[in-house]
Amino acid sequence: MILRIFLFFSLALACPGHTQKIILSHVEPGNWWVGMKHHQVQVLLHGPQIANYTPSVQGLNVLGISKTENPNYLFITVETQDKNAGTYPIILSDNKKKEVARFEFKLEERIYQSANREGFSSKDVIYLLMPDRFANLLPGQDTYPGMTEPGNRDLPGGRHGGDIQGIIEHLSYIKELGATTIWTTPLLEDNEPTYSYHGYAQSDLYKVDPRYGTNSWFKEMVLEAHRQGLKVIKDEVPNHWSSKHWMMNDLPTKTWIHEFPTFTRSSYRTSTQMDPYASESDVRASEDAWFDTSMPDMNQSNPLLLNYLIQNTLWWIEFACLDGLRVDTYSYNDKKAIAKWTQSIMEEYPNLNIVGEIWLHNQAQISYWQKDSPIGALESYNSGLPSVMDFTLHDAITQAFSETKQGWDQGMVRIYENFVNDFLYKNPNNLLVFMENHDTKRFNEIYPNLADYKLALTLLSTTRGIPQIYYGSEIGMKGSKEVGDADIRRDFPGGWPTDKQTAFYANDDKRRYGLEGRTPEQEAYFQFTKKLLNWRKNQVVIHEGKLVQYVPENNVYVYFRIQESENGLQSSKRLMVVLNNSLDEQKINLDRFEESLDVSQLKSVPIRKEILSDLPLDFSQKTLTIPGKTAWIIEL
């Protein structure tokens, strides 16, 4: 087990002939690893007046010492290349060269093939959960010494007590469902006095919030997920910190955060980042202003801070054996700095995947932020970010399924037109596709029926990109954004010891213990999701095949996924997907799709089974008739 010296570690040594004690309050990072490409490590030291002392490191070359206007900080850059694992003491000495403080900095061995770890991809389905609202296995730590906000499940926006052990306990549920990757909203310490459960105002970047558990528990969660064949994505927040971060009371430099004469909230108008006509004041209002009153904006143009952020992310990937990152509010960052941050991570882990939250409603503006974007290239900008979130598809999904009559730009045409614009992306297959997340309206609140859920999930599971589902959708969970964020982040039923009913288990599995399992409605949602996602796992044609789509007719959207054989003369695998968003049954003329159908195969074997319903379909006829509000997946 890798040992970590956490923040608030203090070291006090009395020097011979001196009565004053020198205290190192923080050392970040407290360890590193041998064999890293990022081998020049910037170590932050924090303590009273420590800039008055001379640092040295036994066994490591000191490449640079940076002091700021705040004498409570020292930044020491050490060279770790070609060094062996071991302890390399950092020593502070006074002007008489007497040792006044010491910290045992460690170099650790890396896990085998650490640099070559594979990230998430279109092979995967991501399950997004909020730890505070998922499962509470250890109620005793809901209220924790030193943490300002106590546990209070009766308060909708309060801490409800979900924890890391609760996630570990239910990894088998996520695996059974058919998801392959877990993305949790931030688990690091958020010590805001209220509304701290979401974790996006982090008060300590090297420490898991103790109400969730410990750093070691987080690592164990990742390792247990790996044992069960699941990957884990960490939610990163480089744009802003918490107003209660320990540095906010003692900033390393005056330029560590962006500050205005009075509090200035971000305009959230991140389209200014690529606007060729944008005024400097508008750019600053979006990029430099605070995301919220509790979230100071970090000044990433400060090289000490930027290097701190890069190293912190590398540290967590290496320490916790992570499989990927999701980056919050990516387009709010200093765009040059976040590109350097991203490229530094990808240089260390070239096969990792990172998805950025680009909450914009225009494909060109979203594309701008993806690696090697043809849009970004127009101004020689390249973020290096492999994946972005397909918010325009999300926008289309929230409207299309309520439009049961097809108009020129309504109904399934919205979905079709979204993919028409894929020419704007460098890599459409590495987009994250979703119907909802922790910040949006709940899909099942917008569409409170199973038929629409089946249409939407079938679309996400069979189109290009990486599907992401949100915890509870698979059991029909609802929640109103208008009521408030807490309502779209409800507790998962059965995650708390006092719950009378659980959705983690079928009714037959739990009722013998006196606890009701999933309701019939929850079971219907769950079984459909389970069947579809587990089927998808082995469908290389979906993971890698090309997409061929047809203009919707009568609110019926038809597309194919095709994987060509090695000689390219015929397909090795073909799928036909039919989504009927009309309330009425519709006839599909098969002649229209002849170029995508393997006609010779269909002549020899005309009866094909539909995957979701197991119904046989006869392709010897000229037409197929699909019921209203129905999704079909047909293996050809």
Give CA separation, 114 vs 26, 28, 109, 221, in Å: 28, 22, 10, 18
430's CB contacts (< 8 A; 6+ apart) are 121, 122, 353, 370, 386, 387, 465, 466
In eight-state DSSP terms, residue 273 is: G
User: SS3 for 77?
Assistant: strand
Catalytic position from the list 28, 323, 357, 474: 357
Give CA separation, 154 vs 160, 193, 331, 471, 472, in Å: 8, 16, 35, 21, 20
Annotation says 328 is catalytic: yes
266's CB contacts (< 8 A; 6+ apart) are 285, 286, 289, 290, 291, 297, 332
Q: Looking at residue 614, what is its pLDDT?
A: 93
Q: Looking at residue 602, what is its pLDDT?
A: 86
Q: Looking at residue 564, what is its pLDDT?
A: 85
Q: Looking at residue 58, what is its pLDDT?
A: 98
Rg for the chain, CA atoms, rounded: 27
Catalytic position from the list 142, 163, 318, 328: 328
Q: Which parts of the chain have pLDDT scores under 70?
A: 1-21, 566-571
Q: Looking at residue 514, what is its pLDDT?
A: 82
**Order of all β-strands in the sheet with 73-79:** 26-28, 40-46, 73-79, 61-66
Position 267, amino acid: S
Distance, in Å, from the CA atom of 78 to the CA atom of 92, rounded to the nearest integer, reads: 15
Nearest to 343 by CA among 372, 315, 320: 372
Q: Looking at residue 20, what is its pLDDT?
A: 45
Q: Are strands 607-609 and 556-564 parallel, antiparallel or unpaired?
A: unpaired
Nearest to 202 by CA among 166, 246, 162: 246
Beta bridge partners of 563: 573
Distance, in Å, from the CA atom of 91 to the CA atom of 76, rounded to the nearest integer, reads: 11
Q: Looking at residue 567, what is its pLDDT?
A: 64
| b/e per residue 173-188 (b: at least 16 CB within 10 A) | bbbebbbbbbbbbbbb
Q: Which residue has the tokens 């460098």?
A: 426
Q: Give alpha helix (H) positions in 403-465.
A: 412-420, 443-446, 450-462
| Phi, psi of 384, rounded to the nearest 5 degrees | 80, 5
Tokens of 138: 């250890």
User: SS3 for 576?
Assistant: strand
Q: Looking at residue 570, what is its pLDDT?
A: 54
Nearest to 588 by CA among 629, 553, 562: 553
213 sits in the region (left: phi over 0; alpha: psi -120 to 50; else beta) called left
Distance, in Å, from the CA atom of 415 to the CA atom of 397, rounded to the nearest integer, reads: 7
pLDDT (tens digit per residue) in 94-115 = 999 999 999 999 999 999 999 9
Q: Are 487 and 479 in contact (CB under 8 A)?
A: yes
Q: Looking at residue 21, what is its pLDDT?
A: 64
Distance, in Å, from the CA atom of 563 to the CA atom of 326, rounded to the nearest integer, reads: 29
Reported as type and span, the H/E element at residue 106 is strand 99-108
Q: Looking at residue 505, what is its pLDDT?
A: 95
Nearest to 51 by CA among 28, 30, 24, 31: 24
Q: Are 577 and 458 in contact (CB under 8 A)?
A: yes
Q: Please give the sequence-ordered ranges of beta strands (E in DSSP) within 484-606, or none if there are none.
A: 546-553, 556-564, 571-580, 586-589
In the chain, what are the domains? 11-110 (2.60.40.10), 126-536 (3.20.20.80), 544-635 (2.60.40.1180)
Rounded to 10°, the helix 335-348/303-320 angle is 30
Q: Are 517 and 506 in contact (CB under 8 A)?
A: yes
Tokens of 556: 């019926």
Q: Please give the sequence-ordered ranges of beta strands (E in DSSP) within 487-597, or none if there are none.
A: 546-553, 556-564, 571-580, 586-589
Q: Looking at residue 3, what is its pLDDT?
A: 36
Q: What share of residues in the chain are helix, strand, coil (percent, to 5)?
A: 30, 25, 45
Q: Looking at residue 220, what is its pLDDT?
A: 98
Reported as type and span, the H/E element at residue 335 is helix 335-348
Distance, in Å, from the CA atom of 590 to the CA atom of 549, rounded to the nearest integer, reads: 14
